[in-house]
Amino acid sequence: MNLPKSEEQLMQYLWEMEKAFMKDLIEKYPEPKPASTTIATLLKRLLDKKAIGFKKYGSVREYFPLISKEAYFSNQMNGVIKNFFNDSVSQFASFFTSKENLTDEQLKELQDIVQQQINARKK
């Protein structure tokens, strides 16, 4: 699932709050706050995409994410790796580590993370 920036921003707020009414979502936005009609449109689009659900209390809806932030992020990263790095994680890692001006400490942290994953798979 690929979301435009406006929908992704709304999802970020929902992931952070876990569940929210429209007024709560509007309050999360910085000034100038979007119109309630704008938020209603974004919510409708996200509902149509089955990214969110809602529970109704009378005429008011409480929205919640149906897709986790981790699942969405993983999907986005897989798309980047597939589309920009020929579906090669090693090409992505090479690009990331050489172009980001990482410190020796940051590279060591990455090395430790990879080693932990290798050790976990051996168990």
Is it the case that residue 79 has pLDDT exceeding 90? no
Split at pLDDT 50, 70, 90, the class of 25 is very high
Query: In the prediction, which pLDDT does 94 show?
Result: 86
d(CA 96, CA 113): 15
Encode pLDDT of 46-72 as tens digits: 999 999 999 999 999 999 999 999 999
What are the Cα distances from residue 42, in Å, to 9, 24, 57, 60, 64?
10, 14, 20, 16, 13
Contact 9, 47 (CB under 8 A): no
d(CA 6, CA 60): 22
